[in-house]
Amino acid sequence: MKIHKAGFLIYLLSITGILSAQNELDALNYSKSRPFGTAMAVGTAGALGSVGSEMGSYAINPAALGFYRQNEFNISMGLLNPSTKSEYLGYFMSDNLFGFTLPNISYTYTKLLHEKGKETSDELVSYNFAFQVNRYNDFYNKTFYQGKNFKSSFMDMIWERAQGAASEDELGSLEWVAYQTYLLDPVDTMPGSWGIRMADKRSSGQTGIIETRGGMYDWSFGGSFNYGNKIYGGISLHYSRLKKSEVNTFQEDNDFYDEGFKSLTFIQDIKSEGSGFGLKAGFIFRPIENLRVGVSFQSPEKMTITDKYFYEMTSTFDPTFSGAPQSLVNVQRDPVEDNSSLVNDDNDRYPFTYYVRTPSRMTFSASYVSGKFGFLSLDVEKVNYRNISMGSEASNYLNENTYIKSDFNTVYNIRFGGEVLAGKDIRLRAGVAHYPSPYQKEITEIKNDYSEWTFSAGLGIRKKEYGFDLGIMQTNYRDQYVPYQSSDQYPSSNVVRKHANFVLSASMIFFIDPD
């Protein structure tokens, strides 16, 4: 057997299986949005759609700018602490990760209109412009799972996929790599048949580590108006930027030493970058002094994404086995072009470009705001995840788009939060949010409960010329990983996630000279 440098893709992210670098779960993850950039948004669970005069509110409804009566600069710093507990084959593991972020930076310009030295009140009162960079999606996570498996092996899937290939040149990427690392061999007496080193398809220890980093940022420029202190309208253009890195490792040990085979290790290292453009527009109505009712719309967005791959495969054998070297490391193969080459650095990664069309969003908001008390606010956000689609020049993603239409659902995300004045300058905040599962009910029951609950609290100090805010939030949800699929029984890892987010914001307020 000739040894080459080759590669493969093992994607331990979903129940859809491996060798699918871009699937419907990627599209779903890139379509999520959480308005948690500023500390005030974090402290109130993002329930700021109609509160106004805050950049977390502007991120939901651009009309919120109309409530500003000053120029203001804001900057936020964040600390992420995601933790996981996994169950795999009856074994329980846990892990966590820390990461620093810059979740928000913004500037707001306000122009108050005057007539004969007095501020207008029964016509156009003011107009505003704002620039903001807001982090609205996080990918920070680390998952570790481990267990003993005597019912199936990763090699089962390799064996099934290899059957029918007349020669090594007809093998798919994953099978070809197994062939190059002495884990798969043709049966000479039966053309098109292949055998694996693990003759009895027996495994033992299996270990997986999935670590992801990065997030999605919204660069927006918007404007708004205030008419008669009753009607507020706004619009913003935004440029979304995606950056994500993921290292996926799966290891399998063979305690039985079938044909000298001891262990195999698969590593997937993938970097994703993408961008897209969209629009937000909205209105807020104030029928009476303390009541505010808002509605906003966020357009669909076509995200163009490029994934760059780096793969490794290692197989080890008993030193007494003469059929292969003791260790075969760094076998690479391009899964798209199906050719082999040695990958040395980041510039040699295999690129693949595709697009994801995200769904539109409609948010309905209501809030009660009192200068003496504080505020209570409720947001209801409608998102139809069945409107997601994928495509590329090389593929129409027919299977993935079919799964999206059949498995995904329309959801109503609910956010509720409030603020209480505790003295002249101090504000205490809290909030709760629920994001239902994006799957159809029957799919959720089969897989897991993918709904999310978010609980938050915060503190604010507001002076005439500056302000400080602290927000603390924790999101809880469940997830599932499938390391491989075959016709035999294959395992999955059930994961409970807790994602803690700490944000500190600072504001500088600038005095406005009257006309």
> How many whole angstroms from its chain centre is CA 44?
21
For residue 339, what pLDDT is reported? 42
Sign (positive/negative) of CA torsion 155, 156, 157, 163?
positive
In whole angstroms, give the CA distance from residue 478 to residue 495.
6
Query: What value does the mean pLDDT take over residues 149-169?
Result: 87
Report the C-alpha gap between 454 and 32 in whole angstroms: 15
What average pLDDT does the segment 455-475 reach? 96
Helices 24-31 and 398-407 sit at what angle, rounded to 10 degrees?
Answer: 60
Q: What is the pLDDT of residue 475?
A: 95
The answer, yes or no, to whether residue 342 has pLDDT greater than 70, is no
Mean pLDDT of 51-58: 96
Supply φ then ψ for residue 302, to 5 degrees: -95, 105
Compute the average pLDDT of residues 329-345: 46
Identity (one letter) of the amino acid at 64?
Answer: A
Contact 493, 12 (CB under 8 A): no
pLDDT, tens only, 249-264: 999 988 765 567 788 8
Q: Which residue has the higher pLDDT, 329 or 381?
A: 381
Rounded to two decimals, the pTM is 0.87
Predicted confidence at residue 51, as pLDDT, reads: 97
- Percent residues over pLDDT 70 in the chain: 85
- Could you give the CA distance from residue 109 to residue 126 in angstroms, rounded to a whole number? 11
Across residues 35-59, what is the average pLDDT? 95
pLDDT for residue 340? 42
pLDDT for 15 beyond 50: no
100, 77 Cβ separation under 8 angstroms = yes
Cα Rg of the chain, angstroms: 27
Mean pLDDT (the chain, rounded):
86
The domain ranges of the chain are 24-510
Cβ atoms 353, 304 nearer than 8 A = yes
Is residue 285 predicted with pLDDT exceeding 70? yes
- The pLDDT tens digits for 343-386 are 444 555 678 899 999 999 999 999 999 989 999 999 999 999 99
Six-digit token pair at 366?
A: 């209501």
- Determine the Cα–Cα distance for residues 407 and 401; give it in Å rounded to an integer: 10
CA pair distance 72, 89, nearest whole angstrom: 54
Higher pLDDT, 100 or 4: 100
Q: Taking Cα atoms as reference points, which of 368, 404, 399, 402 lies closest to residue 385?
A: 404
CA gap 407, 385 in Å, rounded = 9
One-letter amino acid for residue 415 of the chain:
R
- Residue 308: the pLDDT is 87
Query: With 70 as the cut, is the pLDDT of residue 59 above it?
Result: yes
Q: What is the mean pLDDT of residues 17-35?
A: 78
Q: Convert 134-170 to b/e letters by CB count within 10 Å (16 or more is b).
A: bbbbbbbbbbbbbbebeebbbbbbbbebbeebeebee
Interatomic CA distance for residues 382 and 63, integer angstroms: 18
Confidence of residue 456 (pLDDT cuts 50, 70, 90): very high
Percent helix / strand / coil, the chain, rounded to 5: 15, 55, 35
Q: What is the pLDDT of residues 435-445, one digit of tens each?
A: 999 998 877 66
Contacts of 504 (CB under 8 A, 6+ apart): 39, 76, 77, 78, 468, 469, 470
Cβ within 8 Å of residue 121, ≥6 positions away: 228, 229
Out of 2.102.10.10, 3.40.50.1820, 2.40.160.60, 2.40.170.20, the CATH code matching 24-510 is 2.40.160.60
The set of long-range contacts for 289-293, using a CB threshold of 8 Å and a minimum separation of 24, is 290/368, 290/369, 290/370, 291/366, 291/367, 291/368, 292/50, 292/51, 292/52, 292/365, 292/366, 292/367, 292/368, 292/369, 293/50, 293/365, 293/366
Question: Could you give the CA distance from residue 221 to residue 105 in angstroms, rounded to a whole number?
Answer: 12
pLDDT at 111 over 90: yes
